[in-house]
């Protein structure tokens, strides 16, 4: 992630992220002090309503009382849902299984604690059904040491890639990943390098620097070897990016600058043709960096030789605005959009401020901005924001694992993901819904198996908002407290 120096300051000023939630919760518990539901409950299809309040009195709590009714009055604040108008197909939602996350899960939890957590994260309800994840190819700042998958002594090279090995992943990452796959066979996996091996780079270091021109073919081969090795382990790769945050060179953890012209050349002449020859296709996603430089992926997509090999664009949240996703999509509507990283941290401690920001931007904003998949950063960190080596020293995971007891705290990042991942399944389509009405933002989806519709809403206003939801000639009423989140689920028409 980009959380250093001036870029970190941009992030602190522009983002609002929440603190670690305290304690545990019983998923689906309808706690005391429920949010007010609509009164028209006597007729029509029932509506399941799941609510999270920023005072934490209700966390993904099931409400009672909503039901569609024909001919009901429509309030001035009305959210219209139209399943007939479809947008992108959904790949999934999740978080990154970093070295740190996998190490904690494997080494700081008992077998029963580990299984309970993975069932909760990747399993069907009452689990939250995460179905998308991202790996690091070599080390990131959230690794216990800095390494690549083809390290040699300083001054040596390995252009035949004879020393390539995924052995660093075998003790922690692969066991966690394979168990997640077993729990959710629909789990899609992508991966990103933080740096090429040092011997391929201009400064012979994993930190900073860029790719030597004579190493382009070797770097493409390195990425292909990773895909092949993971496939041999039973982990097919859904997508790759060439480089995590290619316009950022961190001082104290692996990174590498790759300008748009370099990425276009690497894709057009090396990696694109190499992966195109595979029997099982692997998507190439460009950029994998912030919203503030939309021109960077546009430059790569403008290259006529690179463009046919680029499946889409990946985005991070640490600078700029989510509207960049739509800008690039509109320029190249045949290319896919993914959101691949955003971290919460201790720099914004108030749920009332930060959970609505998360929902507006990372859940609703990204998917209304054409994202087929949405990923947060570390799926798990410990109570000391690690383990990490360099980089962010106050980041938060989706869950926090106590490094002594193995106890799990589900953070607000968890609830933000759960409000969509538990109810929107792979293969769902985003459908039309009203949004931006008097502080209420929404996004809606229809699932492929049972035609159920999930409407996710956040009330970002400072006061309660009462509204109707209309669909297929029926409606129901609902009141959302200030700074709250709700997911509504009902049976739709095929």
pLDDT tens for residues 109-125? 999 999 999 999 999 99
Beta strands in 47-202 (DSSP E): 48-53, 61-63, 69-70, 78-89, 92-96, 132-137, 188-193
For position 291, what pLDDT does the model report?
98
Q: Which of 279, 192, 287, 196 is nearest to 231 (CA)?
A: 279
pLDDT tens for 264-321 read 999 999 999 999 999 999 999 999 999 999 999 999 999 999 999 999 999 999 999 9
User: Looking up tokens 């390539």, which residue turns up?
Assistant: 164
Q: Is 101 helix (H, G, I), strand (E, B) or coil?
A: helix
User: Higher confidence at residue 488 or residue 18?
Assistant: 488
- Cα 315 to Cα 49, 141, 334, 411: the distances in Å are 31, 19, 17, 23
pLDDT-based confidence at 24, cuts 50/70/90?
A: very low
Q: Is 331 helix (H, G, I), strand (E, B) or coil?
A: helix
Inter-residue contact 300 to 267 (CB < 8 Å):
yes
**CB burial readout 350-373, b (16+ within 10 A) else e:** ebeebbbbbbbbbbbbbbbbbbbb
Inter-residue contact 1 to 17 (CB < 8 Å):
no
For position 43, what pLDDT does the model report?
52
Return d(Cα 169, Cα 159) in angstroms, integer.
22
For position 31, what pLDDT does the model report?
31
Q: How far is CA 492 from the centre of its chain?
A: 27
User: Looking up tokens 């997508």, which residue turns up?
Assistant: 239
What's the DSSP call for residue 46?
B
Return d(Cα 154, Cα 337) in angstroms, integer.
39
Return d(Cα 492, Cα 144) in angstroms, integer.
48
pLDDT-based confidence at 351, cuts 50/70/90?
A: confident
Inter-residue contact 468 to 79 (CB < 8 Å):
yes
For position 163, what pLDDT does the model report?
98
Number of residues that this document lists for the chain: 494
pLDDT-based confidence at 492, cuts 50/70/90?
A: confident
Tokens standing for residue 301: 């997509």
Q: Which of 172, 96, 106, 160 is nearest to 134 (CA)?
A: 96
Return d(Cα 267, Cα 334) in angstroms, integer.
18
Return d(Cα 442, Cα 365) in angstroms, integer.
9
Return d(Cα 453, Cα 491) in angstroms, integer.
6
- Active site (catalytic) residues: 245, 341
C-alpha angle with apex 394: 392 to 398, nearest 5 degrees?
Answer: 95
Q: Which residues pair with 63 in a beta bridge?
A: 49
Q: How far is CA 389 from the centre of its chain?
A: 22
For position 352, what pLDDT does the model report?
76
Return d(Cα 109, Cα 120) in angstroms, integer.
15
Residues 77-94: what's their mean pLDDT?
Answer: 97
C-alpha angle with apex 184: 178 to 190, nearest 5 degrees?
Answer: 65
pLDDT tens for 427-456 read 999 999 999 999 999 999 999 999 999 999
Q: Is 378 helix (H, G, I), strand (E, B) or coil?
A: strand
Residues 9-16: what's their mean pLDDT?
Answer: 36
Domain covering 5-18+91-423 assigned CATH 3.40.50.10440 in the classification: no
> Which residues does 390 contact at the CB level (< 8 Å), separation at least 6?
141, 146, 250, 251, 252, 253
Domain ranges of the chain: 5-18+91-423, 48-87+430-491
Task: Give the number of C-alpha atoms closer than 13 A to the C-alpha of residue 87, restricted to the C-beta side.
Answer: 21
Q: Which residues pair with 265 in a beta bridge?
A: none
pLDDT-based confidence at 349, cuts 50/70/90?
A: low
**CB burial readout 14-53, b (16+ within 10 A) else e:** bbbbbbbbeeebebeeeeeebbebbebbeebeebbbbbbb
Average pLDDT across the chain, whole number: 91
Q: How many CB atoms lie within 10 A of CB 152?
A: 14
Instruction: Quote the CATH superfamily of domain 48-87+430-491.
Output: Golgi alpha-mannosidase II (2.60.40.1180)
Return d(Cα 327, Cα 116) in angstroms, integer.
41
What's the DSSP call for residue 256?
-
Residues 15-26: what's their mean pLDDT?
Answer: 32
pLDDT-based confidence at 4, cuts 50/70/90?
A: very low
Q: Which residues pair with 136 in a beta bridge?
A: 192
């Amino acid at each position: 992630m980009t959380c250093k120096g001036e870029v970190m300051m941009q992030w602190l000023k522009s983002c609002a992220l929440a603190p670690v939630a305290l304690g545990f919760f019983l998923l689906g518990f309808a706690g005391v002090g429920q949010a007010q539901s609509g009164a028209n409950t006597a007729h029509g299809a029932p509506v399941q309503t799941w609510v999270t309040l920023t005072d934490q009195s209700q966390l993904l709590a099931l409400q009672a009382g909503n039901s569609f009714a024909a001919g009901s009055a429509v309030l001035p604040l009305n959210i219209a849902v139209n399943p007939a108008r479809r947008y992108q197909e959904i790949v999934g939602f999740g978080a990154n299984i970093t070295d740190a996350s996998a190490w904690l899960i494997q080494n700081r939890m008992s077998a029963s604690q580990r299984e309970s957590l993975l069932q909760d994260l990747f399993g069907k309800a009452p689990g939250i059904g995460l179905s998308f994840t991202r790996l690091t190819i070599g080390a990131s700042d959230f690794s216990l040491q800095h390494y690549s998958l083809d390290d040699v002594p300083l001054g040596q090279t390995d252009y035949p890639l004879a020393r390539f090995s995924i052995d660093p992943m075998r003790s922690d990452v692969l066991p966690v990943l394979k168990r997640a796959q077993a729990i959710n066979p629909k789990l899609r996996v992508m991966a990103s390098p933080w740096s090429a091996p040092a011997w391929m780079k201009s400064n012979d270091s994993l930190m900073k620097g860029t790719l030597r021109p004579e190493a382009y073919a070797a770097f493409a081969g390195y990425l292909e070897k990773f895909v092949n090795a993971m496939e041999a382990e039973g982990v097919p790769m859904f997508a790759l990016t060439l480089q995590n945050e290619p316009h950022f060179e961190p001082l104290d953890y692996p990174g590498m600058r790759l300008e748009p012209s370099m990425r276009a050349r690497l894709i057009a002449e090396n990696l694109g043709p190499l992966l195109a020859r595979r029997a099982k296709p692997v998507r190439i996603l460009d950029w994998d960096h912030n919203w503030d430089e939309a021109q960077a992926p546009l430059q790569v997509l403008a290259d006529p030789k690179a463009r046919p090999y680029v499946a889409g664009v990946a985005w991070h949240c640490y600078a700029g605005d989510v509207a960049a996703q739509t800008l690039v999509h509109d320029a190249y509507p045949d290319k896919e959009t993914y959101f691949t990283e955003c971290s919460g941290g201790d720099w914004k401690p108030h749920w009332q401020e930060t959970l609505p920001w998360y929902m507006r931007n990372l859940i609703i904003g990204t998917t209304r901005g054409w994202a087929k998949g949405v990923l947060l950063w570390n799926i798990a960190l410990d109570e000391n924001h690690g383990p990490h080596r360099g980089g962010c020293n106050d980041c938060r995971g989706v869950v926090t694992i106590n490094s002594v007891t193995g106890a799990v705290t589900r953070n607000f990042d968890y609830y933000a993901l759960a409000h969509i991942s538990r109810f929107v399944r792979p293969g769902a389509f985003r459908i039309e819904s009203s949004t931006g009405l008097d502080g209420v933002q929404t996004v809606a989806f229809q699932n492929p198996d049972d035609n159920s519709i999930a409407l996710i809403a956040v009330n970002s206003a400072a006061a309660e908002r009462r509204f109707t939801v209309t669909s297929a000639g029926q409606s129901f009423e609902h009141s959302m407290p200030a700074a709250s989140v709700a997911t509504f689920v009902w049976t739709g028409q095929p």
